[in-house]
Every structure is written in structure tokens, then in C-alpha cells.
């Protein structure tokens, strides 16, 4: 199985900060990487698919980049409503696998 390693596991930032979350795959997954946001008590929400495509309705402050094994989710200007846990998912090879999550809180 492909291992997805997210970093950091925990992140504290201030409103307006630029935030980056990383995801590293144990082998090449091309651009088959999605990012999800999960708020407390809610189902995950799709933010970015295929590494850099913004899902409909998601604010443009969210962006994704990367290919191969290294990927990044960037929030250009952190808003209070962005407090959540973020997960990456590789869908290049079965079984699909998620990263361990990054919990983002406000400083």
C-alpha cells in the first residue's frame, strides 16, 4: 500500500497567515492527490482534486500543488472558519490511502 505522510500533524497560525500543509507519498502517485477539510463533528469536504484543481464553491485562498511524491496545500490568508483537520488522499493505486491529518488551529 502507498503510505501518505502528512506534515505537520498540528499547526497553529494567526488570521491572515499563509499556511502550508505537506503530504508525501511513499511512491509516485502522479497528480492523483486530493485534499479534504474536516471540521469537528462533520463529514470531510473536498477542497482540491488531482493535486491542483479547486473544487466548485471552495474559496480561492485554497490552492494545491505538487506531483510525483510531494504535494502541498496552501491557504493564502487564514480565516477563522478554516480551523479544521486537513487530510490528503492518494487515488493513484488501490487501496486508496489517506494521510494522517493536520489539525489547524488559530493562534
Partner 1 sequence: QVNLLQSGAALVKPGASVKLSCKASGYTFTDYYIHWVKQSHGKSLEWIGYINPNSGYTNYNEKFKSKATLTVDKSTNTAYMELSRLTSEDSATYYCTRRGIRGTPLGDYWGQGVMVTVSS
> Which residues of this chain interact with partner 1, rule CB under 8 A?
34, 36, 43-46, 49-50, 53, 55-56, 87, 89, 91, 94-101
Nearer to partner 1, 36 or 62 (CB): 36
CA distance 88 to 21: 10
Nearer to partner 1, 44 or 68 (CB): 44
Strands 102-106 and 10-13 come out as parallel
Closest approach of Cβ 43 to partner 1, in Å?
A: 4
Phi, psi (rounded to 5 degrees) for 92: -90, -40
Nearer to partner 1, 17 or 38 (CB): 38
Amino acid at each position: 500500500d502507498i503510505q501518505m505522510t502528512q506534515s505537520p500533524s498540528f499547526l497553529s497560525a494567526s488570521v491572515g497567515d499563509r499556511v502550508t500543509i505537506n503530504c508525501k507519498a511513499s511512491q509516485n502517485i502522479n497528480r492523483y492527490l486530493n485534499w479534504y477539510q474536516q471540521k469537528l463533528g462533520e463529514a470531510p469536504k473536498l477542497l482540491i482534486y488531482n493535486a491542483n484543481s479547486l473544487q466548485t464553491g471552495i474559496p480561492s485562498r485554497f490552492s494545491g500543488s505538487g506531483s510525483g511524491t510531494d504535494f502541498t496545500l496552501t491557504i493564502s490568508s487564514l480565516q477563522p472558519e478554516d480551523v479544521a483537520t486537513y487530510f490528503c488522499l492518494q487515488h493513484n493505486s488501490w487501496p486508496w490511502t489517506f494521510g494522517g491529518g493536520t489539525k489547524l488551529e488559530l493562534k
